[in-house]
Chain A
């Protein structure tokens, strides 16, 4: 990491959703995201992993400014965004673009591909002429590996992999600095998944894009990421360099997640760290460390006090027993 300010950084980002029910007059809320901090630089990939309900998609919604944070802030370049910011400007929004998980539902079936690609320009740069927009859209098509004749077609005429290429092209139309990839390959078949991952690697090299890569597939994360943040119930539990985390996980949840992921090699020795139970409710998270009801090495302290992220073995871990030989 270089000494100057990073391209994108989050500081204690928090997002709560109020829900209708009231308990003893107290308002209840879903604590979707609690205190997430991170840094992401140009040309880097930060992977956010965790199971459903861990807050990884909420993080994507905050970074793309779809929703404001409840507390905390993040910074894009020199601009700080927090709940006081109000409506962020167009330039700021253009700097962060998103690619969604399911390319079957994220493209408007009634728009032609050309219209889909040109729309961000119509809204943000009305001064650009129609001919220029079309030229830019056609260039973008060839950049993501589609053919010029695809310009006049509708989304239903494309396969899943091609649609995901279109979604990537649409995100790139605004020349963003940061691309949020929310499970970009999990709806795709294995052979197509490899094509899209390669495309993303190429685009990153060419434009120096920063990727916030959200995924639950650890083999994909291992391939793509520079740094990894493992989340559990809205909080980061381990955050550090990819190789550190994959080769020597410190948090028991990271260990369980890694050992639960099937490895495509029948000769690989299997000793699975079995995790009992399921994710607790984010409305009423367990006291102390949120992971303690499922943790195989929990001690009394874990039920009472919540551990903060602290540096252990070259990365940040939030666990009272991190660094111990257990």
Chain B
């Protein structure tokens, strides 16, 4: 049985202009100890779907799901009180900007031991000892001294290490990393990614990596889920995704990478991600798609089979060519 099962998760926000659907029928399953990556541009709903899972969305959000199961616990029916026992303990999350996600008014040591106190209890001395052990584990030099430091006294990379220490304090089964390295420099990014991979091995936890950086995905992930405008459009193993993307969006995104460019001009995706008011009727990607035909503008596609990477497309690409659609005349 898999560790995390999400089926048909939808998140809607109440806004002044009406309901906005940020996540639209996303399904996902993560096994014990697996490394899953969720890729997408801004507005693709990748962060929101994970925040919904963690129960961190404001009251304006309406969350519906057919199934939301973590480690055998049904999160849909669970009370908020019970959920808080799981969140931060078995399921933890780190965020994009370490500088803003740590509380500037408390020392690093306080913020680490707070998680331990809430979930595990134990004496003050054991908590402190564990905090030192954690800082050692995440590779922060002089951990005893750092416990008394405030976040502003540490650099961005060090703060992200502290965030990771807080997240793994209770030995979670699942760690969600939301763009953990976007705000960091490349050499520090490499350090933090290595740390996450190493910890995953050591602690045997599953890792969901949310990112927009195709390079990070290629170097770390095993399975990749691609999201666009709130929908999951494709899911494949990382090798197959880069070798043979099945959804036109994935394909276009990969060819927009500067390192894949042939010559000085990059192939581009015209237009932008649809917003609140310009959501097309049919396939959400149709207005920007190079392979779109009439049907795409009228009706949402069903999910294709595993051999086509579960692509949400009428004619999934195979080796860059749309699969022929029987009985349909292409315009």
Q: Which residues of A does B touch, CB under 8 Å?
A: 51-52, 159, 161, 189-195, 197-198, 201, 216, 218-220, 222-224, 256-257, 259-268, 270, 272, 274-275, 278-279
Contacts and interface: CB of A to CB of B under 8 A. Distances in A.
Given A263-B215, A263-B218, A264-B214, A220 B238 contact: no
A324 to B, nearest CB: 22
B266 A264 contact: no
Contacts of A256: 187
A265 B155 CA distance: 30
Contacts of B217: 264
Contacts of B290: none
Interface in B241-297: 242-243, 252-254, 256-261, 264-269, 272-273
8 contacts: A161-B272, A194-B267, A223-B259, A223-B261, A264-B218, A266-B238, A267-B242, A274-B191
Q: Identify whether the interface residues of B are mostly helix, strand, loop, or mixed.
A: helix
B146 interface: no
Given A189-B273, A190-B41, A278-B155, 18 more contacts: A159-B272, A189-B41, A191-B256, A191-B268, A194-B266, A194-B269, A195-B268, A197-B258, A198-B265, A201-B264, A216-B185, A219-B257, A223-B261, A256-B187, A262-B189, A262-B216, A263-B218, A268-B218
B194 A274 contact: yes
Given A51-B187, A257-B187, A264-B259, A190 B212 contact: yes
A159 B41 CA distance: 13
B226 to A, nearest CB: 12
B208 to A, nearest CB: 18
Contacts of A194: 256, 258, 266-269
Given A264-B215, A264-B218, A266-B238, A190 B257 contact: yes
A191 B213 CA distance: 12
B185 A52 contact: yes
Contacts of A279: 155, 185
A270 B259 CA distance: 16
B239 A218 contact: no
Contacts of B256: 190-191, 193-194
A276 B238 CA distance: 28
Contacts of B268: 191, 194-195, 198
A159 B272 CA distance: 8
A237 to B, nearest CB: 13
A166 to B, nearest CB: 15
B185 A264 contact: no
Contacts of A161: 272
A158 to B, nearest CB: 10
Contacts of A219: 215, 257-259
Contacts of A224: 258
A192 B194 CA distance: 29
Nearest to B240: A266
B219 to A, nearest CB: 5
Contacts of A220: 258
